[in-house]
Structure 1
Amino acid sequence: MSATVDVVLPCLDEAAALPRVLAAMPEGYRAIVVDNGSTDGSADVARAHGALVVLEARRGFGAAVHAGVLAAEADLVAILDADGSLDPADLPRLAASVLAGEADLVLGRRRPEPRSAWPLHARIANRALAGAIRRASGIALHDLGPMRVARRADLLALDLRDRRSGYPLEMLLRAASAGLRVRELEVPYRPRIGRSKVTGTIRGTLTAVSDMRRILKEHRTDLANRGAAPNR
Structure 2
Amino acid sequence: MGIPAREERRQRCAEPSPGSADREPRRHGEQADERQHDGGAGAGRSHPKAIFTALGCPVALPTEPAIDVILPVLDEAAAIPGVLGALPQGYRAIVVDNGSTDGSDEIAAALGAEVVAEPRRGFGSACFAGLTAAASDVVCFMDCDGSLDPAELGRVSGPVAAGTADLVLGTRIAEAGAWPAHARIANRALGLMVRRRAGRLTDIGPMRAARREGLIALGIRDRRFGWPLEMVLRAADAGWRIEEVPVSYRRREGRSKVTGTVRGTVRTIADMTRAMR
* TM-score, normalised relative to structure 2: 0.76
Distance 1:131 1:51, change over 3 A: same
2:264 is aligned with what amino acid? G
**By how many angstroms is 1:142 displaced?**
0.6
Within 5 Å, give how 1:1-232 maps onto structure 2. Answer: 4-114=66-176, 116-135=177-196, 137-216=197-276, 218=277
2:240 is aligned with what amino acid? L
CA contact (8 A) 2:77 2:107 kept: yes
CA contact (8 A) 2:68 2:140 kept: yes
Q: Deviations over 1:168-221 (max 9, x none)?
A: 0100110011111110000000000011111000000000001111111x2xxx
Q: Which has the larger radius of gyration?
A: 2
1:156 is aligned with what amino acid? I
Which moved further from structure 2: 91-100 or 44-53?
91-100
Tell me how far apart the structure 2 counterparts of residues 100 and 67 of structure 1 sit (CA, whole Å): 26
2:103 is aligned with what amino acid? G
**By how many angstroms is 1:102 displaced?**
1.5
Gap regions ≥5 residues in structure 2: 1-62
**By how many angstroms is 1:2 displaced?**
5.6
Tell me how far apart the structure 2 counterparts of residues 159 and 133 of structure 1 sit (CA, whole Å): 19
1:210 is aligned with what amino acid? A
Tell me how far apart the structure 2 counterparts of residues 101 and 157 of structure 1 sit (CA, whole Å): 18
**By how many angstroms is 1:138 displaced?**
3.7
CA contact (8 A) 2:198 2:237 kept: no
Distance 1:21 1:109, change over 3 A: same
Tell me how far apart the structure 2 counterparts of residues 122 and 3 of structure 1 sit (CA, whole Å): 36
Question: Per the alignment, in what secondary structure is the counterpart of residue 170 of structure 1?
Answer: helix
2:227 is aligned with what amino acid? Y
CA contact (8 A) 1:166 1:212 kept: yes
- Greater length-normalized contact order (CA 8 Å, ≥ 6 residues apart): 1
Tell me how far apart the structure 1 counterparts of residues 114 and 199 of structure 2 sit (CA, whole Å): 34
1:66 is aligned with what amino acid? F
**By how many angstroms is 1:5 displaced?**
0.4
2:250 is aligned with what amino acid? R
Between Structure 1 and Structure 2, the one with more helix by share is: 1
Question: Per the alignment, in what secondary structure is the counterpart of residue 213 of structure 1?
Answer: helix
Tell me how far apart the structure 1 counterparts of residues 195 and 257 of structure 2 sit (CA, whole Å): 26
Tell me how far apart the structure 1 counterparts of residues 95 and 161 of structure 2 sit (CA, whole Å): 24
1:7 is aligned with what amino acid? V
2:184 is aligned with what amino acid? R
**By how many angstroms is 1:7 displaced?**
0.3
Tell me how far apart the structure 1 counterparts of residues 231 and 156 of structure 2 sit (CA, whole Å): 17
Question: Per the alignment, in what secondary structure is the counterpart of residue 102 of structure 1?
Answer: coil
CA contact (8 A) 1:2 1:27 kept: no
Matched residue count: 215
Percent sequence identity over aligned pairs: 61
